[in-house]
Amino acid sequence: MTADLRRDFADRDDLSVYLREQFPGATARGEDISPIRGGRRSALTALARIDPVRYAATRNDLNGAVTRLSPYIRHGVLSLAEVRDAALARAIEPGQAYKLVQELAWRDYWRRLYAEIGAGVWRDREPLKTGKRTDRYAPDLPPEIERGETGLACMDAFARELRETGYLHNHARMWVAAWVVHWRGVRWQAGARWFLRHLLDGDPASNNLSWQWVASTFSSKPYLFNRENLARYTGNRYCRECPLRDACPFDAPYEELQARLFPGVPSPDHRPAARKDRRR
Amino acid sequence: MTIRRPIVWVHGDDLSPENAAIAANPVAPAIFVFDDRAIERYKVTLKRIAFIYECLLELPVVIRRGDPAVEVLAFAREHDADAILTTPSPAPGFRQIVRTLERNLPVDILSGMPFVPDLHYDLGRFSRYWRTAERHAMSAADE
Ligand SMILES: Cc1cc2nc3c(=O)[nH]c(=O)nc-3n(C[C@H](O)[C@H](O)[C@H](O)COP(=O)(O)OP(=O)(O)OC[C@H]3O[C@@H](n4cnc5c(N)ncnc54)[C@H](O)[C@@H]3O)c2cc1C
């Protein structure tokens, strides 16, 4: 039996000092404490701020009205049912909450699948649709990606945000994952492990299956984005300052990226109406 | 068998004060265990531990670290418990721990309010799941 860990702390700094002492291994890997606070009180404050209508209209935008509830939901501080009920209560008619409820449902879906396949979330659910075999992908994440030192302003900023806050917007997660797997040719598992080390909402169900969705081992085609798409949903904030703005690997029409990244694979329909720039 | 002196095992999937196991027996001693091996296996960083820790500080639990099954059973012995109450988790590690606990004491797994009822869902793709789940998901649980 071990001794009880402490429960009385003067403030957050006091807690951080104690945790650094108690968990030297975790501290060596990343000693940042997120600005996002744990606990039911913080969760309820965040829940009181959700806006289902603006959510539906702006959720793909990095500055959009996303809820940021994922760490609380991941750890059961808030249940999906109670977030859904709050969303419906805030809507004048249920349809206004549809988009948010459907996103909550993604978590329920991934969790049900996880309950069925368990450690199978670490294995390819289906063959890749990229025209490349799994063994053509690198098993490990290049260290400069993790450190955020690749020179790509967007990706480096996302890596830093992940490390410092343990949170990333859904669209940023999709871009990072697509870049790691399709541009850098790294196995999705390496990216998934990286995310799980840092994400406060890190969960093998949502995380690994989303990586597989991007990679195409759990979808009918690989997820791709381009510079125009990233610039639009980030208000061009990264591209403006990017040292690689004239050598951007994402700066091409979808057809061209498709041909470059997946040679020999027939191009899926990339008309904006059909692909909606995103997954769903 | 009637349970007279249960303890509650709180795990990382259910850090709400309204956790169904705590709610079922608010006076039972409760424990949370940081799984040192899992922290190393997944190379978890400090901010994830801190987030969980802050959640725990709002719960009536004793916080320990080590092997969860070993620690929960030790805690049960300290309190002369005749059962362990907890809440469900889809993680394979959870099932393993429950199997170990069950070799020593009865384990009661209590569920909170579900998002959608436990029907049969086709999990092949989200769209197929949603076809069945949508109607339930879109109605409030407290109606
Ligand atoms: C590569 C990748 C990895 C991801 N890893 C995780 C992870 O480890 N844990 C995790 O909870 N989510 C993960 N997601 C899903 C999604 O990105 C996050 O849930 C979401 O960005 C959290 O921010 P939010 O709370 O502001 O979300 P909102 O858009 O406000 O959504 C509300 C809630 O719905 C749920 N949700 C929304 N979208 C999804 C989704 N696509 N899949 C599952 N649940 C969703 C979350 O619980 C979220 O808190 C991942 C997505 C990708 C593309």
The Cα–Cα gap between A19 and A56 comes to 39
**Which DSSP string corresponds to chain A?**
-PPPPP---SSHHHHHHHHHHH-HHHHHH-----SSPPSHHHHHHHHHT--HHHHHHHTTSTTS-----HHHHHTTSS-HHHHHHHHHHHSSSGGGGHHHHHHHHHHHHHHHHHHHHGGGGGS-SS--SSSS-GGGSBSS--HHHHHT-SS-HHHHHHHHHHHHHS---HHHHHHHHHIIIIIS-B-HHHHHHHHHHH-TT--HHHHHHHHHHHHTTTSSS-----HHHHHHHTTTTTGGG-TTTTS-TT-S-HHHHHHHHSTTSPPPP--HHHHTTS--
CB of B53 less than 8 A from some CB of A: yes
Is the CB of residue A211 below 6 angstroms from any atom belonging to ligand 1? yes
Query: How much is the pTM?
Result: 0.96
Å from CA of B46 to ligand 1 middle: 21
B45-91 pLDDT tens trace: 999 999 999 999 999 999 999 999 999 999 999 999 999 999 999 99
Which of the listed residues A34, A61, A63, A70 should we mutate to test ligand 1's pocket, taking the one with most ligand atoms within 8 A of CB? A70
Residues of A in contact with B23 (CB under 8 A): none
Domains, chain B, with CATH or none: 6-112 (3.40.50.620), 115-143 (no CATH)
Ligand 1 pocket: which of A99, A206, A233 to mutate (most atoms within 8 A of CB): A206
B126 touches chain A (CB under 8 A): yes
Query: Over 60: is that where the pLDDT of A274 sits?
Result: no
Task: Measure in Å the smallest separation between the Cα of B85 and chain A Cα atoms.
Answer: 16
Q: Rounded mean pLDDT of A71-96? A: 97
- Residue B93, classified by CB atoms within 10 Å of its CB into exposed (0-12), middle (13-18) or buried (19+), is middle
Query: How far apart are the CA of A143 and the centre of ligand 1, in A?
Result: 25
**Is the domain A34-120 a CATH 1.10.3080.10 member?**
no
pLDDT at site B18 = 94
- pLDDT exceeding 70 applies to what percent of chain A? 95
**Token duo for residue A107:** 């978590």
CB of A129 within 6 A of ligand 1: the answer is no
B52 neighbourhood in chain A, CB within 8 Å: 38, 75
pLDDT tens digits, one per residue of A256-273? 999 999 998 887 765 444
Nearest to A81 among B92, B115, B126 (CB): B115
ipTM strictly over 0.95?
yes
Torsion of CA A23, A25, A26, A30, to 10 degrees: 120
* B49 touches A at CB < 8 Å: yes
- Residue A104 alpha carbon to ligand 1 centre in Å: 8
Average pLDDT over residues B19-47: 96
Q: Taking the CB of residue A157, how many other CB atoms lie within 10 A of it?
A: 17
The per-residue pLDDT for range A97-109, each reduced to its tens digit, is 999 999 999 999 9
What gap in Å lies between CA B142 and CA A86, rounded to an integer?
11
Q: Which structure tokens are listed for B113?
A: 């309010």
Q: What is the mean pLDDT of chain B?
A: 95
For A122-261, which CATH superfamily applies?
DNA Cyclobutane Dipyrimidine Photolyase, subunit A, domain 3 (1.10.579.10)
- Where are the domains positioned within chain A? 34-120, 122-261
- pLDDT given at position B140: 86
CA atoms A146, A165, A10, A40: torsion sign:
negative
